[in-house]
Structure 1
Amino acid sequence: MSVIGSNAASVEFRDVTKIYPNAKVAAVDRISLTVEQGKLVTLLGPSGCGKTTTLRMIAGLEMVSSGQILIGGEDVTKLPATDRDVSMVFQSYALFPHMSVRENVEYGLKFSGYPKKEVGERAMAGLQLVGLQDFGARLPSQLSGGQQQRVAVARALVLEPQVLLFDEPLSNLDAKLRRQVREDIRDIQTKLGLTVVYVTHDQEEALAVSDRIIVMNNAVIAQEGTPRDLYDAPINGFVADFIGEANLLDCEIESVADERATTVLGPVRLELPSRGMKPGPARLAIRPGRLELVKAGTPNALPARLTKVTYVGRHLECFAETAIGPVFAVCNDVDAPFAAGDDIALNFPERGTVLISG
């Protein structure tokens, strides 16, 4: 049985702002959020949106300009990093090159006052959790990038922090290794019931590992929810386009009744959830994989002409011109008889077609 348990705690931001000296705008602007105990929450957004600053404020590596941070219900706003029970895994691994793998994992334990015997037991338990129990005597330079990142995870885990922080942990790995290591991180988090705050700019990575995703843009929270919530029901054009690909199309809301919007899209009429929107000009978002390619002349479908059809193995990528602009669709039937120059029609199913603001 592993000697490593869970000391997981919640994280709460209350109206937190961070303004760097001499900066004209806030790096983080009055954000409030909650990370529930034992959950993995991802901060997702483009470079400069404030996600890494938010992570560093949890760690105590950056102090807030205003607002409060609570960990496990305790106000830690003014506590330095050394007095916060958190551990961070960096994208650079930050391993000591002259120490063995086991010595790297033991390093933090030795300074935390654990008896020598327990230091060894915890280090071995940590290496077992990440599948590196047979690599303890090796130097970091003798490991692959994925293995080095696992050592960094083990080093953080053995301290049993209240919150485990990941700052772009997979950005230095190739695509296949990223998939493997992200699954390892998710499995360990679930197994131990850890509270994890995870920063990435990779949408697929966020969708794969998260209980909840907080999308940030321009120092504020654009939207938060489960991966499915954000993918299927983005609140605006930024979220729709940032979380996977989306077609953003101008439309007109003709009328709203009982939270249903009669929507006109070129020659197509749709009945969609109104999402609080009023009659008038609007936009809708639809994922390329949700569009249905149907025969030309199909009733209540958008006429289109295919300009390009590309076979990419698992599906066809179809580019089409319509009266309301270019549209990109994905067809999962690789044997479908579509070719560039064909006249077709596009069907907009209600599931996956959403009205958005802005």
Structure 2
Amino acid sequence: MSIQSKAAPVRFEQVSKKYGKDVVAVDAIDLHVDAGKLVTLLGPSGCGKTTTLRMIAGLEMATSGKITIGDLDVTTLPATDRDVSMVFQSYALFPHMSVLENVTYGLTFSGFAKDEARSRALHGLDLVGLKGFDSRLPSELSGGQQQRVAVARALVLEPQVLLFDEPLSNLDAKLRRQVREDIRAIQQDLGLTVVYVTHDQEEALAVSDEIVVMRNAAIAQMGTPRNLYDAPNDRFVADFIGEANLLSCEIIAVDGDTATIEIEGYQHALPSRGLGRGPATIAVRPSRLVVGADAGIFAKVAKSTYVGVRMEYTLTGAFGQVFAVHDDVEAPLEPGAEVCMGFAAKGPVLLPE
């Protein structure tokens, strides 16, 4: 037997969640998750991302607005009446049950016959790379294997929407990378609709079709990982999606969609993003600063750090302080060295705010 995808879209229309009179956890958000896509809710603690996820699951009820899954209005439906499954941060496995018993538990509870539940569970374990692990106890598995059991348990229910709440936070760095790749591969192979919550920017960039950046109970910006990374709307998104250096500049000319900026006499052309002449702010990724450029801005190396595959530099100058990375680990710059710092051709981006 095989696990079938019943992927459905999720839509929020002006959805709010309040606790008491004063605490607004989610503030009138509009959100659309296409069927078969993985959308990540990303943001700092307290921004509303987990509350949003729990409202999809039916573990929290919206104070106002409308939530639909597929064609069904689920705004007031309890969790038991929604066709969703959730993978928790803590895995929530039963320690006294075998791996197979953990995966079949939800199926048995949902009324599946014993033989069918077992068949589905074994297929689910095979799907997440745990074939032959069915008789083990959770305590006999690594953290990554336990997380895969939790994923299998959710998958076998064939939900319309699969939800992940910080699923990798208990794993070490190497295992995080492996398990996130597993989750993404399963999602794409089965065409699942997945809503994924994390505060880890790299994780969000790696797994998502689309990222929803949240701040202060609202949506700050949403878009593809590359769009958010290359064209953030404001300082918060620029600094939260990957690392960004924020520098003051002057827009000295605008020609159509191209602006020319100037910092300490150094000029650079880039998309104008609707801005006109005058003071502005640019965001520059550390990897898009050219250390040792032929033309650029005078800077001094304040800190030099070797991290194996690259050098990391803190540079200071009249512009302030920036963080830059460089691939040349054989001839590192020493603290106190004077350098010329420029921008890559596709380097800085003007912030519209």
Provide TM-score, normalisation by structure 2: 0.97
Residue matched to 2:10:
11
Cα deviations across residues 76-118 of structure 1 (Å, max 9, x unaligned)?
1111111000000000111111111101100111122222221
Report the equivalent of 2:137: 139
Residue identity in the other structure for 1:325: G
2: CA distance between counterparts of 1:44 and 1:352? 24
**1: CA distance, partners of 2:259 / 2:97:** 64
Q: 2:161 aligns to what?
A: 163
Aligned residues of 1:233 and 1:352 also touching (Cα < 8 A): no
Structure 1 window deviating more from structure 2 (218-227 vs 348-357): it is: 348-357
How far does residue 261 in structure 1 lie from its aligned partner after superposition? 1.8
Structure 2's unaligned 5+ residue stretches are none
Report how far residue 232 of structure 1 moved. 1.5
Alignment of 1:168-247 (within 5 A): 168-247=166-245
Match of 2:69 among 68, 71, 81: 71
For 2:13, the aligned partner's letter is R
Question: Are the aligned partners of 1:309 and 1:339 in contact in 2 as well (CA < 8 Å)?
Answer: yes
Q: Select which of 61, 78, 81 maps to 1:80.
A: 78
Paired position in structure 1 for 2:262: 264
1:74 Cα deviation (Å)?
Answer: 1.9
> Partners in 1 of 2:224 and 2:175 — Cα distance?
25
Give structure 1 regions of 4+ aligned residues with deviation exceeding 6 angstroms: none
Q: Distance in 2 between matches of 1:312 and 1:197?
A: 34
Aligned-partner SS, 1:241: helix
Q: 2:34 matched to which residue of 1?
A: 36
Among candidates 300, 304, 326, match of residue 299 of structure 2: 304
Q: How does 1:10-159 map to 2 (within 5 A)?
A: 10-22=9-21, 24-159=22-157
Range with greater deviation from structure 2 (159-168 or 139-148)? 139-148
Return the letter of the residue paired with 1:12: R
In 2, the alpha carbon distance for the partners of 1:74 and 1:280 equals 50
Q: 2-side partners of 1:169 and 1:337: how far apart? A: 38
Q: Which amino acid aligns with 2:9?
A: S
Residue identity opposite 2:341 in structure 1: L
Shift of 1:259: 2.0
Whole-angstrom distance in 2 between the partners of 1:99 and 1:312: 43
Note the C-alpha offset of 1:132. 1.2
Displacement of 1:303:
1.1
The two structures have a TM-score, normalised by structure 1, of 0.96
Instruction: Find the aligned partners of 1:240 and 1:280 in 2 and give their Cα distance.
Output: 21
Aligned residues: 353
Secondary structure of 1:187's counterpart equals helix
Structure 1 stretch displaced more, 256-265 or 195-204: 256-265
8 Å contact kept, 1:167–1:199: yes
Shift of 1:337: 4.9
Aligned sequence identity (%): 66
Range 216-225 or range 272-281, more displaced: 272-281
Query: In structure 2, what is the equivalent of residue 342 of structure 1?
Result: 337
Partner deviation per Cα, 1:29-55 (whole Å, 9 max, x = no partner):
111111111111100000000000000
Task: Indicate the larger mover: 165-174 or 268-277.
Answer: 268-277
